[in-house]
Structure formats: C-alpha cells, structure tokens
Structure 1
Amino acid sequence: MLELIRIDPFDDTAVDLWWDIYAAAERADRGAETAVWTRGESRHELQQHTEAIERRAYLARFDGEVVAGGRLALPLRDNRRTASLGVHVAPDFRRRGSGTAVLSALEDAARSAGRSILTSNASWPYAAGDDGAGVPGREFARRHGYALALGDVQSRLRLPLDAELLDDLEREASARHSGYALRSWIGSVPRTLVHDWAELDASLETEAPVGDLDIEPASVDIAALRSDETLLARQNRRSYGTVAQDAAGRVAAYTQLVVSGDDGNAYQWGTLVRHEARGNRLGMAVKVANLRLLQQHAPVVRSIYTYNAGVNEHMLAINRRLGFAPSEHMAEFQKHV
C-alpha cells in the first residue's frame, strides 16, 4: 500500500529525497540538460515563512521504498479558491499507479483546505509539438480530468548578445519614448519605486493572457515583495531590475531578470507596461537596458530563459528580435472539484 508523508522542510534528508525525484522526473520528460530549480533553491523556498502562500512537499513510499514526490501550494492572500499541485514519479517506478495515488491524495488535501480550483503544469521539448500528444505529463493530466487552460512557450536566449543589436534596438525604441526616463539597479527594488513596482507586479498575471485559467487579480503587498527578496538572497539568486518612469516619476513599465548563482542561468521574470503608456516601445526599452546591466555585471551568464503565453504574440515578437529561440512547450492545466 502506498503511504504519502508530508515532509519537514528542515529535514535535509527528506528534502534531498524529494528533490532527487523531482529533478529526475523533470529531466526524464524534458531532457537531461533541462534547467530545473536547484536543490538549494527548492529547499529555501519550502522553508520560507510567508503569509502569502503555504507550501507543502510530500514523499510517497511503497513497501518502504520512496517511489514518488508531490507538492501543494495554497495561496493565503489572493485566489484562495485555488491550489497548485505537482506529482513526480521516479522514472524507474512509473506505470504502477503511484502517480494516480499521489494525485488523489493531493486533491483530497486541497479540498480539505477549501480549494475548488486545482492547477498544475507539464513541459516537453519544443520539437515534440504544441499538442503534447504522448508526453507523459500531458497524458497524465488528460486522464485525470485536467483541462488545458493555457499553452506557454519557453524560449532561450544565448549570451553574450551583440552590442550592435542592442544599440540598434535601443535607438529604435528611444525614438518613441522621449518623455520617459530609464532606471536600472541590482538587488532589492529601491524604496522610492517599490509601490509602483509592486503594483505592476501584482497585475502581471491578469494583464498577461490567461486563457481559461480562473485567476483573480492579486493585491499589492509590499511586505510580501520584500519577503520574496529575502528568499532570493537565501537561494543564492540575484535580481536585475529596470523601470521606465514618466515625467511625474511614476513607473510606467518594468522588467526583472533573476540570476541563479547555483546553475549560472538567468531567468526572465515579469515584464509589463501600463495600459496608458503602451505604444511607446517601453517594453523593448526596459528589456534592452536590463540586458545591458546583466551583461556588464554578470558576464559569466550564458543563457536566459523566459515563458510567454503562446497567444502573446507581441511579447514573443519582442523576444524574437532580441534573439530568443523557442525551447520548450509548457501546458497549464486546470480542474474544478
């Protein structure tokens, strides 16, 4: 009989077992060289104390042997009807019912926490096609009643970038946004900008295409933002930020890159332009400025990864001009219970 055990995030042995299964399962489906959260990054996220979200991790044992892992994330401030979950079965123990048993237990835990909207995701190599037919994670979700709510594209940018390309894109963008000033920094968001930054960041999930995902607008929470900045430092990550400010000093656009000190890659996080400021090439402007900052201060970084909704043609076009190439598909699934 399968036994599902919630692990203590400060139990290094248990977290190591959980992470080993997570990494092995992801690489079995996505390729041996795929970028996954590192052991340290995952450990510190599980250990984070925050009033915004509750995170749980589980190990599944069958006849005393660890065969699978699970995760559950319960938002505590916004979207309190939802739960995000994940199931990872060790490659050598697949097709024995372990994944189904873990999923059922996680769904029960989510329902016990008052959640009625369950979300999850799966990724696969871009060359396999956007349908994901035959991909283990895609088929597993389909069999258990999870509908495809949004299709995303992971893209990869190889560094360093040609300085002439950045110069050309900067000139092209600057002709459209003469009334705005750019400001860049490394580390925590400056105090004078943090409210506007948090406001844009909170609106990102609902401003970007959401497909059929049932998502409520997030609230502006500067304390949560500062807590996440503390987490980044513990994870050996470093943030690079750029904003565009209008003549009154209000932030009209923002972008953020986060460098993993563990795997050496950079990850594009949020990029957003306020509605009233769109059409001024501010998205390209802040991205170019942030890339210059990254290349100046982190020249060892060789790749940047980003995700965009497949229907977000505007942002995909910006990324293509910068040199991003599609590398994976990611499906976001949803189930109402």
Structure 2
Amino acid sequence: MTIEISRIDPFDPHDVDAWWEAYAAAERADRGADAVVWSLAESRSELQQDSAVVDRRAFLLRDDDEIVGSASLALPLKDNVHTAHLAISVPPENRRRGVGTAALTFLEGEAAASARTTLQASTSWPHTLGPGGTGAPGREFARAHGYALALGDVQSRLALPVVPATLDRIEAEIAESTEGYEIRSWVGRVPDDVVERWTTLDATLETEAPTGELDIEPQKPDIDSIRESEELLDLQHRISFGTIALAPDGAAAAYSQLVVSTDDGNAYQWGTLVRAADRGHRLGVAVKVANLRMLHREAPQARAVYTYNAESNAHMLAVNTMLGFRPSERMGELQKRLT
C-alpha cells in the first residue's frame, strides 16, 4: 500500500474533522472510552491560531480515498529550537499496515529539514501496565523505531468537589509555614502587575521540575508568549484560574494554574512551581488549595481535576495524594536524537 500524507488547511472544516476523528479514535482505543482528549473545537482553535511561539502542522494520512490516520508536528520558534514534537494517530483497524511507520518517516524528514536534532513525543497507557508501559501499542511502536523513554509521568485524578472541611484542615496545617507570604488569585488573564514575576517562574518550569533524560534547555521569560497562550484559551472558551505566592520582598515564590475545559467539564492542572529559595514553606500546597477554592466558587460544574507529575517527583505526588488525587493513567515522554 502507498500512504499519501497531506497537510491540512486548519480552516477547512472537513479536513479538521477527519484529522480530529482519527486522533480521538486512536486515543480512546488505547486508553479507554473515557480517556481525556482535546475536543474538536479546542483542537480547531489551536490549529487556526497564528502563533509566534510554535509552528503547528497537521496532516491527514490516506490510502487511496480512505483516511487511515492523522499526524502533527510542532516546532518551537523561541526556545528549544533544536527540538520537534511529533504525534501520530492511527485507529486500530488501520494498524499493522505500515501507516504509522510511513507517517513517522515523513515527520522525521520534516523535522530534519527544519534543522531539528531532537525529536520528542508522548504516549499514554493504563496505570496498571506499570512505568515502562510494556505491551502498550504506542510505547511498543515508539520502542521499535528508536524512541527511548526519557521521562515517565503519572496522571492523577481528583474527583470534585473536594469536601470544604478538607481544604480548611490543610490550610490550618500550613498556616504557620506560609506566614509572611501573600497569596493572590484571579480568574482569566494574569494581572499586569504580576505577569512579569509569573513569567519568570513559568519559564523555569521545564527545567526546575524533574526532566529525566529530556534534551531541553531553560526558557527565556517572555510575556508575549504568556499572552498568546491566554488568547488561545479565550478562543477555546477555556477558563484559567491562577494563584501566585509573593515573598516578603515582593518576588514570586510560587505559582499554580488550573484550566477548565467548558467542552468536557474537566479541570486540568498546568504549571505548579515553588522557587528553590522558598521551598519548605508548603507554598505548593497553598497555591493549589487557593486554586481549588476558586474552582469550586467560579466553576462548580467541573467534574474532576487531572494532573501529570514525573514518577520521580515524590514530593508533588505526596502533595496531590494529600489533596485527594488518585493515580489514573501513565504517560511516557519519548525522545530520539537525529545526530
């Protein structure tokens, strides 16, 4: 068979629908019917955004006139410009026909043509399969094509609402440790008077958090990138909840962000980080609790919170367990170097 790979027009509803349907079918087949996936509308908005941060490309895979899968390539434009992020979605009925291999060969060629030397991807599998994901289709496909497991993550789920007394008890337990820090929370855009400090913390997240063997470099603080991300959230009708902890000298000591999808009714934990100099003051717990308080007040319809943490991040996993999170899935961050 000969696989035809064509880049889609993100403003062509037929192509975007077909691209998303292949993605969603593949994810749900491997992860279960209730797997959390981006909605069609959210995906369409991301593909259509004119981004200065990342070059996004989406592709349809065809065998004659039959759509047999989809793929995407994301090329960072500001930081870590040596990397490329690949994704391939092939529904089960089209597997073992060379579709995924053809798509991977194509994406690797596109990345190399853009002078990218490190290829990265991710795949998820049931929590019960263990950290290595042995036997999971995505993990075995990646292994066969030279992609190593660079970092293993745990997805955890928190059923909502959290009993208010639980949050009261936690806040009482950490009150002495957080004394002297100002906790500020908001819904929507990061306020102008703290966005620079927020951005400084956010830029260090990728390298301050456990990174395993991932070939990534520190990012440069960039307010424009934060504002672009917020513009996309608006287009997707998502709701952002942010909390920052300010040290006595006014510097940003910790931050956390929750994002609610109005399409699927779930909340997703984005970045949470405590500055190295301020660790030990239980600020990670404080900012998470503040966000949960806001979530209950402003989005009481939210059904659950999902978060990902490195398997090796024992401290944050313990914090999540204290809040009531339970492991629900695993994800592998995969990597292959071209040179």
> Distance in 2 between the 1:248 and 1:140 partners?
51
Which residue of structure 2 aligns with residue 154 of structure 1?
155
Partner of residue 203, structure 2: 202
Q: Secondary structure at 2:47's aligned position in 1?
A: helix
1:235 is aligned to 236
Runs of 4 or more consecutive aligned structure 1 residues displaced over 2 Å after TM superposition: none
1:40 alignment partner in structure 2: 41
**Equivalent in the alignment of 2:184:** 183
> Which 5+ residue runs of structure 1 have no aligned equivalent?
none
User: Residue 337 of structure 2 aligns to which amino acid in structure 1?
Assistant: H
Partners in 2 of 1:109 and 1:289 — Cα distance?
43
Q: Is the 8 A contact 1:50 1:224 kept in 2?
A: no
Conserved 8 A contact 1:53-1:73: yes
2:269 equivalent in structure 1: 268
Matches within 5 A, 1:15-30: 15-30=16-31
| Per-residue Cα deviation, 1:209-243 (whole angstroms, up to 9, x for no partner) | 00000001011110111111011010010000111
Q: Residues 52-93 of structure 1, C-alpha deviation per residue, up to 9 Å, x if partnerless?
A: 110000001112211011000000111111000011112211
Q: Residue 122 of structure 1 corresponds to which residue in structure 2?
A: 123
1:221 aligned residue: 222
**1:248 CA displacement:** 2.4
TM-score when normalising by structure 2: 0.98
Amino acid corresponding to residue 243 of structure 1 in structure 2: I
The answer on whether the counterparts of 1:122 and 1:137 sit within 8 Å (CA) in structure 2 is yes
Q: CA deviation at 1:48?
A: 1.1
RMSD across aligned C-alpha pairs, in angstroms?
Answer: 0.7
Please give the secondary structure, in 1, of the residue aligned with 2:315. helix
Q: Deviations over 1:153-176 (max 9, x none)?
A: 000000111111101111111111
Partner Cα distance (2:97, 2:155) in 1: 31
Determine the structure 2 residue equivalent to 1:99: 100
What SS does the aligned partner of 2:81 have?
coil
Spell out, residue by residue over 1:125-167, the C-alpha distance to the aligned partner (whole angstroms, 9 max, x if none): 1122222111100000000000110000000000111111101
> Does the CA contact (< 8 Å) of 2:29 and 2:91 recur in 1?
no
Equivalenced residue count is 337
Matches within 5 A, 1:260-299: 260-299=261-300
The TM-score normalised by the length of structure 1 is 0.99
Matches of residues 163-178 of structure 1 in structure 2 within 5 Å?
Answer: 163-178=164-179
Mapped to 2, the partners of 1:2 and 1:282 lie a distance apart of 52
Partners of 1:2 and 1:178 in 2: CA distance: 61
Aligned to 1:316: 317
Number of the residue aligned with 1:86: 87
Identity %: 58
SS at the partner of 1:171? helix
Contact in 2 for aligned 1:38/1:263 (Cα 8 Å): yes
The Cα shift of 1:50 comes to 1.5
